[in-house]
A and B are shown apart, each in its own frame.
Chain A
Amino acid sequence: MGSATETQGPIQSGSAPTCLRAQDLTMRHGASTTLCTLNLEVPAGQVLSILGPNGAGKTTTINLFMGFFRPASGRAEVCGIHVAENPIEARRLLAYIPESVSLYGNLTGLENLQYFAELGGIRGLTFEAGEELLARAGLQESAWHRDCSTYSKGMRQKVCVALALAKDARAMLLDEPTSGLDPFAAREFSGLVNELASQGVGALVATHDLLLAREISHRILILVGGEVKETLPTDGLELGELEKVYLEALAAAPDSERDQL
């Protein structure tokens, strides 16, 4: 599949439409604030990584974009659609790849794809079209008609990518996409994401993998304790430099948050 280097460089398209936007997005769980006035913007064709330790608010951000939670204040937008007000519309434009993709084990990859595509409002996805999507997502042909219970994590993710392709998603949300993948699979997956981005999809990746963040994204946002500590472009950013900035941001955080590392 597409090599990573091809799409490595950031796409300079200042006029590209905004796919994902957070405006003063705040989330509270009981008395504690899990996300504090987050502002971010992901234009089409760009990948933004949110880097942070466990409990930093990465998944919360994604859940807010998915409309699974209602924010305490502020707003999340997907291609201009206010998520909290119209979550269904927003979800139709979104592709979502959770940390661990769960498919129906008693259905084949193709059947899962057809099922979830139909839920997303895509009617009549033919066998051939489904197979083509799976092929584009890089799932080996031998697996298409096998029950998903036999799939590895990487294979299930590829079904999810195929779903994103089927939906013709405008934006992608990825939650720890490469955790638990072997380096080869992780690299293959990064390539897939970059390919999607090159086709004009805006992607938000939540991760604590520095290497992935640097490789996959155009910009990196460091989130600790629900607050944005730093925003860095990856253009010309060295891994060592990123690590230093990240550790400094963590060191500034209260002990209780560092413990969660």
Chain B
Amino acid sequence: MKAIFKREFISLVADGRFWIACCLFTLLVGLSTAISLKNDRAMEHLRGGAQHDLRHEWVSQTAKDPHSAAHFGTYQVKPGTSLSWFDPGLDPFLGTVNFLEAHVRSEFMLRPARDSTSARHLGYLSPAFLLQVIAPLLIILFCFGSFASDRESGTLRLTLASGVHPAALVGGKIVGGLAAVFALVLPSLGVSGIMMMRVSEEIDLARLGLLLLGYGFYFAAIASITLWVSSRVLKSQSALAIMISFWIGMTFVVPRTISDMAAAQHPLPSKAAFAQKIAEETRQGIDGHDPQDARREELLERTLREYGVQRIEELPVNFDAIALQASEDYTSELYQREFDRVADQLEAQAQIVRTTAVLAPFLAIRNWSMAVSESDWAHHRRYAQAVEKYRQELVRRLNTDMIQNSRTGDFGYVVQQDFWESIPPMTYEGPSVRASIEDVESQLGLLAAWALLGIVGCLRASARLRP
């Protein structure tokens, strides 16, 4: 087996094309890492600047009543993550900025995908894209002939005749092939890693380890499946044709058709219908049972009872502000429900994609890589919820000040700058590694299963290996 491993490895590595491919790939990954890191740094800088400007805008706003400040609102910029340069995932397609104001929960705006060109339809250049799409192609191009070429040239006949155990032959080829594959890919990872270490202050080893694990399984799966196919077909060109079809299918055809199907299965509401529903329910109350006027009447009665007074003028607090906050609570709940409905549809779509990963290891690695790099849908949803929580707290804080420090009908009440300063900016702590991969553990399992399938397939094929 050692001899076979050595021969397989050396014959792959001694090939001039291997080195050309290795150099080109390393160059590509290096370039994309450089571009991604540069963009990431620039974005980080801009985000820092924008956050500073936003805070400045907030604290230096003119004196006004707190509820007007809630309408004045503020923007929140989505923070970057430590690995978004490696795998931007869905980030280009999700907004980067969110406007926080009273009564309205807005969607994220300013999707970076808008500021790119039509070539984006083929993919976003990132180290992850190259590893997910281009690396398997190279692996296929180098491994397809492993058995089939030997069979074509007749050396397989001589090899088998030598009395070597077929399992040892296959084992040697698998290990040799995998070693060559990693020799092909590792330099690029090394270059990427060195570049990252030069610019990043802190390195999240746990996430890097998980990424390596996922990609390791992925490459092992592609290589072993290629070897399996190569061991089963008579001609090397058939092995190549089958594997190229598999590659095209998993990287282009399946993801596109499946996302189409998932969108048809779990359609998103149109913006018009969504806005209409929110408007309707705000006015009518949920399901028309709880109209706005009745709500206000009931709230007034409750407040009067609470303070033990008869008339609105006798209240020691500002009832208008109480009503505003009550309406805020009401619409927040409403928005929460409607946003959740959309998010659930998206989650269902993501689930379909996750399930389809059974068919295409590319989907599994994409899901896994995005999740570990915190650029997937689950992470965005988590962040969006944190932003909404902050918005609600912000508005509540402003309204509470108005409730406590002014009286009903007192429209002249204003607060000064020190009050704006007393409101802390939003802080967001990203999820733990554990939480990040919660939804996609199955994807790692699938990748491992694909790798195992390939290896077991190869070994089983060894029993029937024919020259």
Contact = CB atoms under 8 A, between A and B. Distances in A.
* Direct contact, A vs B (beta carbon within 8 Å): yes
Interface stretch (A29-37, A117-125, A193-201): A117-125
Interface string A196-215: 00000000000000000000
A66 B159 CA distance: 12
Given A115-B7, A119-B162, A119-B164, A68 B154 contact: no
Interface residues of A, number: 27
A104 B15 CA distance: 13
Contacts of B154: 98, 100-102
Interface in B149-166: 153-155, 157-165
Nearest to A121: B163
Contacts of A88: 163-165
10 closest Cβ contacts across the A-B interface?
A102-B154, A91-B163, A92-B163, A96-B161, A119-B164, A119-B162, A118-B3, A120-B162, A102-B155, A120-B163
B462 to A, nearest CB: 11
Contact of A94 (B3, B7, B161, B466): B161
A100 B162 CA distance: 16
Interface in B99-154: 153-154
Interface in A95-132: 96, 98, 100-104, 106, 115-121
Contacts of B160: 66, 68, 91
Nearest to B6: A115
9 contacts: A68-B157, A89-B163, A93-B163, A96-B161, A106-B11, A119-B162, A121-B164, A163-B162, A167-B163
A104 B155 contact: yes
Contacts of A42: none
A102 B158 contact: yes
Interface string B279-294: 0000000000000000
A160 interface: yes
B14 interface: yes
Contacts of A94: 161, 163
Nearest to B464: A70
B466 to A, nearest CB: 6
Contacts of A92: 163
B363 interface: no
Contacts of A66: 160-161
A187 to B, nearest CB: 24
Interface in B1-59: 2-4, 7, 11, 14
Contacts of B169: 119
A211 to B, nearest CB: 26
A234 B86 CA distance: 76
A104 B163 CA distance: 17
Contact of A102 (B153, B164, B466): B153
A91 B163 CA distance: 4
Contacts of B2: 118
Query: For chain B, which range describes its interface: under 10, 10 to 19, 20 to 34, or 35 or more residues?
Result: 20 to 34
A18 B54 CA distance: 95
A37 B164 CA distance: 29
A96 B164 contact: no
A115 B165 CA distance: 14
B467 interface: yes
Interface in A4-56: none
Contacts of A91: 160-163
A116 B158 contact: yes
Interface in A116-159: 116-121
Nearest to B155: A102
B154 to A, nearest CB: 3
A23 B151 CA distance: 30
B447 to A, nearest CB: 33
A119 B11 contact: no
A89 B159 CA distance: 14
A66 B162 CA distance: 10
Nearest to B2: A118
Given A88-B163, A101-B158, 14 more contacts: A91-B160, A91-B161, A91-B162, A91-B163, A96-B157, A98-B157, A101-B154, A102-B158, A103-B158, A116-B162, A119-B4, A119-B169, A120-B163, A160-B158
A116 B157 contact: no
Contacts of B159: 116, 119
Which of B4, B155, B163 is the most central at the interface, judged by chain A CB atoms within 10 Å of its CB?
B163
Given A68-B466, A101-B158, A106-B11, A119 B163 contact: yes
A125 B7 CA distance: 16
B142 to A, nearest CB: 15
Interface string B429-467: 000000000000000000000000000000000000011
B163 A106 contact: no
Given A68-B467, A102-B154, A104-B11, A115 B161 contact: no
B352 to A, nearest CB: 44
Contacts of A163: 162
B215 to A, nearest CB: 31
Contacts of B164: 88, 119-121
Contacts of A93: 163
Contact of A115 (B3, B14, B157, B163): B3
Contact of B14 (A68, A100, A101, A106): A106
